[in-house]
Structure 1
Amino acid sequence: GRFTQKQLIDGMLSEFIDWEEGKDQLREMGWGEEDLATLLNLELDSVSTAEMRKIIQYDLLTPKDVALWFRRRGHPPIESDWLAKFLEDEESQRIRLRIAKLALDAWDGAAETWSTVEAYLGAAHYTTQEQHLLFVEAQIRLIPKPEKAPTERSLTASQVGARYKSGILTRPEAETYLTALPYQADQIADFLDYYIPDVPKEEGPREVGAGVVGGLFKRGEITEAEFRIDLVMLDYEGWAVERLVTYYKPVEPKPP
């Protein structure tokens, strides 16, 4: 079957259809020579830069064809040649930039390892001057950035509360942050009361348990009377005291 006019022109522009053969078929469709030239130029002019970039990427047009495309857009001949060259070289330039970024990101700052980075940059056709400038950029990247102190409006209310509760912020500091959010005075008081900092409990001396004094009694380090007094002080009484005394009573060694 025959191609439509649009399919025919697209095939000619992408060189899937021979240019002269395509023109012959357009003539058969009734296009005269002058009209034919105008039609083809209009179709070429309708190609966007992005589309032309794809056409170049797949090597469907020669640099001369691309330069003519720029000429039809009003660029002078020399400028058209340069623009065609730049457009053709865009993809390789993007790749070179990615290589440089990866190489600089991988550098650890040691002078002896810069030679490895230089090797990659040289392979990507960076000049000596460009490599030096990239080295300066890489050194600047290694300068530690000062930590930004939080501004009065850079913290949320919950963040202020958490910092106040953990002791990072004093109450006046927390009030300043909340005022900037803005919170009213009565709201601030209620809010901070909810986040009152935890006060660590002071540990007092641990109580000696019945097991400890029982062990002393069993080993003969305290008398039964002393053991009974200790049990009473530990709130044992009556039957419980008697049972513990019996349980911990020293066992007389068997005679040989």
Structure 2
Amino acid sequence: MPFGLLVGCGVTKHIPENEKLYTGATIEINRDFSVKGFKELNAELEGLLKPEPNSKILGMRVGLWSHYKVQKENPGFINRFIYKKLGEEPVYFSSVEIAKTEGLILNRLDNNGFFFSEVNSEVQEQPKKASVNYKVDLAQPYQLGSYQYEKDSLPIDRSIRKLLEATKIAEGDYFSLEMMKNERTRLDEGLKNEGFYNFNPDFLIFEADTNQYDNKKFDLFFEAQRKCSGKRNCAI
């Protein structure tokens, strides 16, 4: 890219008076304890920071610059060509929903067992730009004490108990909705392979119980709901 074009990629002079260019967000997780899978958790939370700011090429917002250039009455062939290839609509700070993002972060933390965490945000402003820093005070995660199946006399019971021998859920695991969804899917597939063709994973009900503990642990129970008379091609 010619040097002259790089120099011309400044965009702040084109930003409307009542707007600020959104330059992105960061997330800061404060904790005083080790966390299993911390990098994955951090990446998961970073994925919630929307919208994405305008992209940069070699430090320049070429796509945004081309957007402003084609707004002129006679933008010229080169400017139109660049806009067609790289052009981006401006992302202004006014489009950022900070409270919604804070709620999404808290929800995702709950889904991963970090109940009672707190999220605050700080807006960092310049004359024509603004960014957001989300600060998370991470609570201790709830960890699994035991995983138990509420046994029944249904024909499906023996098959479920056999499948549980291969479960990946183990003592010490963090509470996780994704973990439970994966377990339901695994059991569903295994039971269909055993001949319970009309079985539905929604028939497996999980319950978490913290009543026996005062140190952020929980027991996980699940049971199979009765949906028919017990014939092999029935739901259960």
Q: Which has the higher contact order (CA 8 A, sep 6+)?
A: 2
Larger Rg: 1
TM-score bucket of the superposed structures, by smaller chain: under 0.3
Q: Select the structure that is richer in strand.
A: 2
